[in-house]
Amino acid sequence: METQKRTPWRRWIVLVLMIVGWILAGIYAPARPEITVAAEKLIEEPIVENFLGTGPLYLVNTLPTLIITVILLVWLAYATNRSLVKSQKGDLVPSGLGNGMEAILEMLYNMTEGSAGAKSARAIFPWFATILIYVLFANLLKLIPGFESIGVLHHASGEGHAIAPLGGAWNIYTSGEGGYILAPFLRGVSVDLNFPLAIALISVVMTQVIGVQAQGLNYFSKFFNVKRMFKVPFFGAMDFLVGLLEIISELSKILSFTFRLFGNMFAGVVLVAVVASLMGQVSILSAMIMMFELFVGLVQAFVFGMLTMVFMAMATQSHGDEEHAEH
**167 Ramachandran zone, left/alpha/beta (phi>0; psi -120 to 50):** left
* Alpha-carbon dihedral 159, 160, 162, 166, rounded to 10 degrees: 180
Q: Which residues pair with 163 in a beta bridge?
A: 173
pLDDT value at 16 more than 60: yes
Q: Please, are residues 136 and 148 in contact by the beta-carbon 8 Å criterion? A: no
According to the model, what pLDDT value does residue 254 have? 92
Q: What are phi and psi of 34, to 5 degrees?
A: -75, 120
Question: What is the identity of the amino acid at 317?
Answer: Q
Which DSSP helix (H) or strand (E) runs through 109? helix 96-116
The 10s digit of each residue's pLDDT in 104-117 is: 889 999 989 888 88
Mean pLDDT of 63-71: 90
pLDDT value at 67 more than 70: yes
The 10s digit of each residue's pLDDT in 1-12 is: 455 556 677 778
The total of other beta-carbon atoms located within 10 Å of residue 94's CB is: 19
The 10s digit of each residue's pLDDT in 217-240 is: 887 777 777 666 666 666 667 777
Average pLDDT along the chain: 81
According to the model, what pLDDT value does residue 75 have? 92
Pick from 266, 229, 221, 270: which is nearest to 247 by CA? 221
According to the model, what pLDDT value does residue 215 have? 83
Mean pLDDT of 132-149: 85
Q: Please, are residues 243 and 319 in contact by the beta-carbon 8 Å criterion? A: no
pLDDT value at 322 more than 60: no
According to the model, what pLDDT value does residue 233 have? 67
Mean pLDDT of 284-303: 82
Q: Please, are residues 128 and 305 in contact by the beta-carbon 8 Å criterion? A: yes
pLDDT value at 288 more than 80: no
Q: Please, are residues 139 and 297 in contact by the beta-carbon 8 Å criterion? A: yes
The 10s digit of each residue's pLDDT in 199-222 is: 999 999 999 999 888 888 887 777
Q: Please, are residues 146 and 61 in contact by the beta-carbon 8 Å criterion? A: no
According to the model, what pLDDT value does residue 323 have? 45
Higher pLDDT among residues 146 and 258, named by residue: 258
Please tell me the number of Cα atoms within 13 Å of 178 on its side-chain side.
19
The 10s digit of each residue's pLDDT in 168-181 is: 778 877 777 777 88
Q: Please, are residues 152 and 185 in contact by the beta-carbon 8 Å criterion? A: yes
- The model's confidence at residue 292, banded by pLDDT at 50, 70 and 90, is confident
* Alpha-carbon dihedral 52, 53, 59, 65, rounded to 10 degrees: -40
Cβ density class 37-50: b for 16+ within 10 Å, e for less: eebbebeeeeeeee
pLDDT value at 92 more than 70: no
According to the model, what pLDDT value does residue 319 have? 59
Coil, helix or strand at residue 122: helix
According to the model, what pLDDT value does residue 320 have? 54
Residues in the chain: 327
Longest dimension (CA), the chain: 89
Residues 6+ apart with CB under 8 A from 176: 161, 162
According to the model, what pLDDT value does residue 279 have? 67
